Amino acid sequence: MSVVTAVRGQQMDGAEAPKPTAGGGTAADDEPPVPPDVAARIVRAVDRSPSTVVTLVNPDLTIAWVSRSARWITGSDPDSRRGDSAVSRIHPDDAHRLVEGLAQLRAAQGHHDYLTTVPEPIRYRFQRFDGTWVVMEATIHNLLGDPEADGLLVFARPVSGHHEGVGHVIDLLVAGRPLPEVLGACAGLVPEPFGAAAVVALLPDGIVTGVPAGSPAADLVGDRRWWQAAAVGEPTIAPGFEGVPADAAEAARARGFRSVWALPIRDQVRQDVIGCTVVWLKMRLEPNIATDEVLRHTERLASLVIGEERRRQDLRRQATTDPLTRLANRSAFEMRLAQADGPVTVAVLDLDGFKPVNDTYGHEVGDAVLRVVAERLALGVRREDLAARIGGDEFAIVFAEGTGHDDAVRSAARVVSAIEGPIALDGGLRVSVGASVGVATAPADEVVQRADAALYRAKRDKRAGRTAPSPAGAGTRPSPAGRATSPVDV
């Protein structure tokens, strides 16, 4: 049995002699026939191709057979298209290209082997059955001299947006567009007939997702269950949504999908997982060699985009991080103040007794003490507060917007208490340092000066041996103008 015979549903004796062609040769060039079971499997694979429509065209240019893949690629019913004109849905401006290709094949008939191909793929616009247009690229094989086929075999795949889409991603990168938009352009490289895709970026600063505008993937990607395994390097392949939570699978089916793939995206150098591609498919399908090309552009470009964003965030973090303590540095402290809208509350802390420790035991021990102090400071504030090292042994806290002045005073007192606990270092060495703190609430351009003034008063009172006010009663509540300051010495 030949593959095309299987397509037409005609049986022939596998031992039958090859039929002569119009050119005097043989239809099979003395090659052994394809076993019937193999031919049937080949046709089944062609029939369900994820990205290619195969059409057998009669000599009169009517359609003899269309692969089932036309349903998800062009939106047509293969059975209803039999007998239709093969060029009826081709754009009028492009129809001549196909006609010229067919003319080349007809001219070749009788002079060459029947399996003659149009020298170059032909591109043309095809009108989908939803009224939209898609650019197709077709390779046409001449089987007119084959008595079992007697037609033209057309392999066509959508190419709309691939080359243009790659350039679009690069343009967005160069223009510095927001990351979700760039990732959405990467996801848009997956052909729409194949399914809907999303790209998930795993970044030091958090997770960012990108989907093409108007894609149904936007309604699904927010559910982390789709891609949580891929995010740790385990692909999810679920034809028919096997193993997917019932509610998630139902949400995808309601949008016309039948399968899902979630595939890790790795750094191209270190091979760390830096994101994942999630594709909801309109067919029940597992990845195979034919689908690799469909996802290759998305995966590679997304890897470059995410990798570049991670490097950018690393550089930004290095520029705003103190290398010794890993707290925010003075630049980050000043940036946070600049972003404040209205009065802001700041605590400035200065270590007491640090210089003798540094002078006695050396800078290595001094650095170790600063790291412990920074760790205790970071543990004593909330995630939304900013803890920073702004000088040699000087630290600061920018409290989150909305923090009450008295609440900030109490928080600063707890931090000071934690810092003053004994510090155990390598070699059995134990040291202690003290801390003084000034808290102020004021406009951003005044608050540091006011907090410093409160700090100096606290140090002066400590040297004079005066008892500091208790944390609960320390300082004065800010006036409506937000200008009150609080010395705190605990």
Predicted local confidence at residue 112, as pLDDT: 46
Residue 216 near residue 196, CB atoms below 8 Å? yes
Predicted local confidence at residue 214, as pLDDT: 86
Predicted local confidence at residue 6, as pLDDT: 52
Residue intervals of the chain classified under CATH 3.30.450.40 are 162-318
Residues of the chain with pLDDT under 50: 1-3, 10-28, 110-115, 163, 467-487, 489-490
Give domain 3-158's CATH number out of 3.40.50.10380, 3.40.366.10, 1.10.260.40, 3.30.450.20: 3.30.450.20
pLDDT in tens, 162-219: 545 677 888 888 888 999 999 999 998 887 767 899 999 999 989 999 999 889 999 9
Predicted local confidence at residue 28, as pLDDT: 45
What CATH architecture applies to the domain 330-488?
2-Layer Sandwich (3.30)
Predicted local confidence at residue 476, as pLDDT: 36
pLDDT in tens, 97-133: 677 766 666 666 544 444 455 556 788 888 888 787 7
Spatial separation of the C-alpha atoms in residues 123 and 138, rounded to whole Å: 6
Could you list the beta-strand ranges (E) of 220-272.
Answer: 236-239, 259-266
Predicted local confidence at residue 285, as pLDDT: 79
Q: What class is the 162-318 domain?
A: alpha beta
Residue intervals of the chain classified under CATH 3.30.70.270 are 330-488
Spatial separation of the C-alpha atoms in residues 62 and 285, rounded to whole Å: 30
Residue 398 near residue 346, CB atoms below 8 Å? yes
Closest CA to 299 of 197, 223, 214, 158: 197
Residue that the structure tokens 């998630």 belong to: 248
**In 10 A of CB 29, how many CB atoms?**
11
Could you list the beta-strand ranges (E) of 267-324.
Answer: 273-281
Which pTM does this prediction carry? Answer: 0.59
Predicted local confidence at residue 174, as pLDDT: 85
